[in-house]
Chains A and B, each alone.
Chain A
């Protein structure tokens, strides 16, 4: 029996250090897909890797073996011992796996529920799987269901509307202070994925100029090139505070990078223009007392999460709606999945009918010789339509029974009734590649 299995880890199960180990570049994903394809026990596979999750989705006939192979594959890629890996992995099967992948695509499983990036990432993962030819009928259908579910969640609920990711909520917060970010200056202290993402968001909102400071000046120059910004040395942070409007700090420094007295000194020159600190570093870069200064607003990562929580509570109702949509889509997919069991029989039935038509035409070929070509065509069409009408009801009947536990009995009866297993036209072999004929 074919099984859909999902093995993975996300921000809830795995600490960031382990997720980092497994976070893969696209070429290493294609290597992972390569090794997946070589595993005989795996029929179709897909690999998803983002900064918050690593997931392997696969279709298999022998689940236990496939799971073992995938886990050893992951442990090899991430260089993590298998025992340690198993403790942070979750495994979903069948309906749970389907629901999980739909929830991931709809951003219901994200660290920040409703964030829009995940759908793009999952689409990329799917495209890669199709390019590597590791996806097949079931994954194709499943992923399209997932995209459809994500789209429904997006349009039918308001879950995606408000502040959705930490960088996004930082930008929202900046807008609540400055109204527009056009012409504002940003100081980026330190660099990291999150800081760069936030910086990109700020630039997209019209921030006019950016200054980058880093403990190592070389790195500052590198990051500055990325954003068309000006690099400065770490010692220049103090004077820069008099000039900029938004400070984005994310260094790995164990002590504060910006202190109360530094900001206080800068304020004489600032003429009280508001200054917004976004501190996404752990441990924090900005001394918390800085927030006590007038016209200064300091938001650390927990505060930004608070902003997200605020939106989250407002979206509780929407989340319930979204889960309902996902459930609907899961049921639809399962229904389709079950009809898959009927497909080989239907295909055999159609093949047999086609064979009979061809055989009978051949037999009567001589007596058709005098007829005009269009008359011949009419006769052929007539035969085909009669034959299709006859098998139509049995096919519909089988499809209706697809969800019944007694399906196999109906399949047996059908195969015996139409004698599908003896003339070699329809072997009882689940040929999924041909299920595309299914309407």
Chain B
């Protein structure tokens, strides 16, 4: 039944992605409205999937890359839906949904993780740690996409070369504001996620910090985002420079998320999470 919800969520999210791409090309509001509802339905199914999966595993479903990607995808859509309420920026969906759907497709191609879960993972701390980190990641993904949109639009305005995106993308101020706000809200989530992770490590492993590769890279990511936020707030960075920096930050984040887990070993790696 769990897999059924996953497939349903995947199907609806792909459908919504298709619709939002059509909207990007055709610019018909009707198309957006339907796609948005489909995406919302996909999100609800995705949530049901996560809940059922949570109960069947007895812990947050993030122990393998497949589940982690699906959870990442969910948190991006969640962040987008919240932003949609505030900014009502339809075109953002045309960028977010393909990204989220891309993660879901990779996730769906991977085999399901079967078997019992180590008792040490059955902790509320894990759920809180992973939930906050991923919420932060979702918001940073929005910041990243907004930064890409900003750079496209800024290039067109600066160089006076107006491509087909010129009309479709919103103003620079809007994109910069989305980038700023997702950074501003994402950073506390990441911070709380790292603190709770450290507390959880104290409970589970007996030490707050043990220079695990993922821990180190998380700290590097955190420092990158902290630097960006500092430059934005204190120095007044904005626009192009902030956009480029938030893209770099996101690349570091993705490396931490995928690279450090897959290639660098340590207790955070999926192979060690799976080996119970």
A272 touches B160 (CB 8 A): no
Complex Cα spacing A294 to B241, Å? 8
Question: Does A297 lie at the interface of the complex (its beta carbon under 8 Å from any beta carbon of B)?
Answer: yes
Question: Distance in Å from the Cβ of A280 to the closest Cβ of chain B?
Answer: 15
- On chain B, the residues within 8 Å of A297 by CB distance are 157-158
Q: Which residues between 218 and 275 of chain A lie within 8 Å of chain B, taking CB atoms?
A: 271-274
Find B172's partner among A176, A272, A299, A310 (CB 8 Å cutoff): A176
B237 touches A306 (CB 8 A): no
Find A294's partner among B166, B171, B239 (CB 8 Å cutoff): B239
A179 touches B157 (CB 8 A): no
What residue of chain B has the Cβ atom nearest to residue A310's Cβ?
B162
Range class of the A interface residue count:
20 to 34
- On chain A, the residues within 8 Å of B123 by CB distance are none
A272 touches B236 (CB 8 A): yes
Question: Does B174 lie at the interface of the complex (its beta carbon under 8 Å from any beta carbon of A)?
Answer: yes
Question: Does A28 lie at the interface of the complex (its beta carbon under 8 Å from any beta carbon of B)?
Answer: no
B238 touches A295 (CB 8 A): yes
What residue of chain A has the Cβ atom nearest to residue B169's Cβ?
A176
Q: Which residues between 163 and 195 of chain A lie within 8 Å of chain B, taking CB atoms?
A: 173, 175-180
Find B240's partner among A173, A294, A310 (CB 8 Å cutoff): A294
Question: Does B216 lie at the interface of the complex (its beta carbon under 8 Å from any beta carbon of A)?
Answer: no
- On chain A, the residues within 8 Å of B120 by CB distance are none
Most buried by B among A175, A273, A310: A310
- On chain B, the residues within 8 Å of A130 by CB distance are none
A179 touches B170 (CB 8 A): yes
B162 touches A307 (CB 8 A): yes
Range class of the B interface residue count:
10 to 19
- Complex interface bits, B16-40 against A, C-beta within 8 A gives 1, otherwise 0: 0000000000000000000000000
What residue of chain B has the Cβ atom nearest to residue A175's Cβ?
B171
- On chain A, the residues within 8 Å of B236 by CB distance are 271-273
B171 touches A178 (CB 8 A): yes
- On chain A, the residues within 8 Å of B174 by CB distance are 179
- On chain A, the residues within 8 Å of B254 by CB distance are none
Question: Does B227 lie at the interface of the complex (its beta carbon under 8 Å from any beta carbon of A)?
Answer: no
A176 touches B240 (CB 8 A): no
Complex Cα spacing A306 to B166, Å? 13
Question: Does A303 lie at the interface of the complex (its beta carbon under 8 Å from any beta carbon of B)?
Answer: yes
Question: Does B173 lie at the interface of the complex (its beta carbon under 8 Å from any beta carbon of A)?
Answer: yes
Known: A297-B157, A303-B160. A272 touches B173 (CB 8 A): no
Question: Does A205 lie at the interface of the complex (its beta carbon under 8 Å from any beta carbon of B)?
Answer: no
- Complex interface bits, B158-188 against A, C-beta within 8 A gives 1, otherwise 0: 1010100010001111100100000000000
A177 touches B172 (CB 8 A): yes
- On chain A, the residues within 8 Å of B239 by CB distance are 272, 274, 294-295
A272 touches B237 (CB 8 A): yes
Question: Distance in Å from the Cβ of A308 to the closest Cβ of chain B?
Answer: 11
- On chain B, the residues within 8 Å of A274 by CB distance are 172-173, 238-239
A176 touches B171 (CB 8 A): yes
A177 touches B238 (CB 8 A): no
B173 touches A178 (CB 8 A): yes
A291 touches B173 (CB 8 A): no
Interface residues of B (CB under 8 A from A): 153, 157-158, 160, 162, 166, 170-174, 177, 235-241
Listed A/B pairs (5) with beta-carbon separation below 8 Å: A175-B171, A177-B157, A271-B236, A295-B238, A306-B162
**Extra contacts besides A173-B157, A272-B236, A294-B241 (5): CB < 8 Å:** A176-B157, A178-B173, A179-B170, A271-B236, A291-B158
